[in-house]
Amino acid sequence: MEIETKHLGAVTIEEKDITRFPQGIPAFEDERDFVFLPFDDSGSLFIMQSVQHAHIAFITADPFVFFPDYELEVPDAVTEQLHIENPEQVLVYVTLTLANTLEESTANLQAPLIINVEQKLGKQWPMAKSPYETKHLLFQRAQKEGTGSC
């Protein structure tokens, strides 16, 4: 099927590529079907594009690429909702807020997207008790290491 996208124009997708968010995502509860499309050639940035509405798209990333120490423990209720039986079924993404430069862009580590890749089911899970925030600089560690050196 062909869909219109916010960033790539018309693209052809297959039904098997659609990830369903049965409860939608916060603030977009009526949007349930999304497809993840490559945003760049790095393989770490993706566009989470609504299948129904071209104007609804989110830039997402694999959080472990930018934050290797990122940790989360998915509660049983979420694994049950997504029919997750083992860790190999799971992909985790975080939404990004893009700024003028990638270095100024932030990631929402507090509300990751949990995806069962086998069942094609997803959920954005806002972690209630979390050391993470909604706006972590993507390159915070690199910037800190670069300060104060000659």
Q: What is the value of pTM for the model shown?
A: 0.87
Q: What is the CATH number of the domain that holds 49?
A: 2.30.290.10
Domain region containing 75: 2-146
User: Cβ distance 41 to 47 under 8 Å?
Assistant: no
- Residue 90 CA to residue 83 CA, distance in Å, equals 10
- Residue 129 CA to residue 150 CA, distance in Å, equals 39
List pLDDT tens digits, range 38-96: 998 878 899 999 999 999 999 999 999 999 999 998 899 999 999 999 999 999 999 99
List pLDDT tens digits, range 9-30: 999 999 999 999 999 999 999 9
Q: How many domains in the chain?
A: 1
Please provide the DSSP assignment of 75-137 as one string: -HHHHHHTT--SGGGEEEEEEEE--SSGGG-EE--SSPEEEETTTTEEEE---SS-S--S-EE
